[in-house]
Amino acid sequence: MSRRGGYTTMTPTEITATRKLADGRQMPVMGFGTYLLNDQPTMNTAIQTAWDAGYRMFDTAMLYRNEDILGPAIQQLGLPREGLFLTSKVAEIVQGYDQTMKAVEGSLKRLQTDYLDLLLIHWPVREHFFDTWRALEQLKADGQVKSIGVSNYTIAHLELLATKAKEMPVVNQVEYHPYLNQQALADYDQEHDIVTEAWSPLGRRVVLDDPMLAKMAAHHNKSVAQVILRWELQHQLVTIPKSTHPERIQENANIFDFSLDIDEMTMIDLLNKNERTGNEPEIVYETGKQY
């Protein structure tokens, strides 16, 4: 259901549910973000806890510098590769056709796998804009990547990419939370058969401390984080919360036993302030680096 056409309570009833991508593959509706997990024991505990809670998608990136501990965590814990959905992202500093091809080879080695389920361009960079995407198309053709997408792309970036791309991204991972809901971008993605995936889905502490969200959470006997994640699912987004705390990892997964009504969805939508916690995509596009 379109965001503009209303909201839906027809959301998945379990964490292992999937969304169908434009390329025909299935992507879990909820994944586990690994940003800031930077030592092996913490990673092992987090991945085991997430797996036990039902997470089957794990999101990393070259810039996180933890692919080399995520791979061993999966191996050491005996998790089946075919039952996992692994995502990584191409950093700005290794964009361009040849550099991207080489960088992904390194990611596969660090992750101890021979393919990625999803590879994203982490940020758009003007200098290497088309060549980097061409590399992703080739990596998919070679079987090293199953699905390809982008991250932090605006509508303008997607429209520019469409002028030369042989195939379009199936996912656009962007910052998305109650204080930055990017409705126009999410609508555009949906209209062009691109799944919007939310990074920083809970925003910062100020979002979690919002008094209206606190009241709504109390009404449902849920945490504010659970209400926010449920709101995102009912907007048909894929979401990837992160945490280093086992109890929070489990809590974030427990959002499939309640729903928000239309009024509640609207109230959360109205919290939007267009406040980013991360970089402005257009600045990264022009400068080629985060700031």
Domain 27-287: homologous superfamily in CATH: NADP-dependent oxidoreductase domain (3.20.20.100)
276 burial level (CB within 10 Å; 0-12, 13-18, 19+): middle
Angle 241-230-56 (CA atoms, 0-180°, nearest 5)? 45
Check if the beta carbon of residue 105 is closer than 8 Å to that of residue 137: no
C-beta atoms surrounding 188 within 10 Å: 17
Residue spans of the domains in the chain: they are: 27-287
pTM for this predicted structure? 0.95
Catalytic residue, candidates 64, 153, 179, 285: 64
Give the pLDDT of residue 2: 40
Q: Which residues are annotated as a binding site for substrate?
A: 122
DSSP one-letter code for 19: E
Query: What per-residue string of b and e applies to 107-118 under the rule 16 or more CB within 10 Å gives b?
Result: bbebbebebbbb
What are 153-181's pLDDT values in tens digits?
A: 999 999 999 999 999 999 999 999 999 99
55 catalytic per annotation: no
Give the pLDDT of residue 50: 97
pLDDT (tens, 9 = 90+) of the chain, 291 residues, equals 344 434 555 567 789 999 999 999 999 999 999 999 999 999 999 999 999 999 999 999 999 999 999 999 999 989 889 999 999 999 999 999 999 999 999 999 999 999 999 999 999 999 999 999 999 999 999 999 999 999 999 999 999 999 999 999 999 999 999 999 999 999 999 999 999 999 999 998 889 999 999 999 999 999 999 999 999 999 999 999 999 999 999 999 999 999 999 999 999 999 999 999 989 999 989 999 897
Q: Which residues are annotated as a binding site?
A: 122
Q: Which two tokens stand for residue 82?
A: 């075919």
Give the pLDDT of residue 4: 41
Provide the H-helix boundaries in the chain. 40-53, 67-76, 97-111, 129-142, 155-161, 183-191, 205-208, 211-220, 224-234, 246-253, 262-269, 281-287
Phi, psi of 73 (to 5 degrees): -60, -40
Check if the beta carbon of residue 186 is closer than 8 Å to that of residue 269: no
What are 91-109's pLDDT values in tens digits?
A: 999 999 999 999 999 999 9
Closest CA to 157 of 286, 32, 51, 68: 286
What is the Cβ-side half-sphere exposure of residue 239, based on CA atoms within 13 angstroms? 28
What are 248-265's pLDDT values in tens digits?
A: 999 999 999 999 999 999
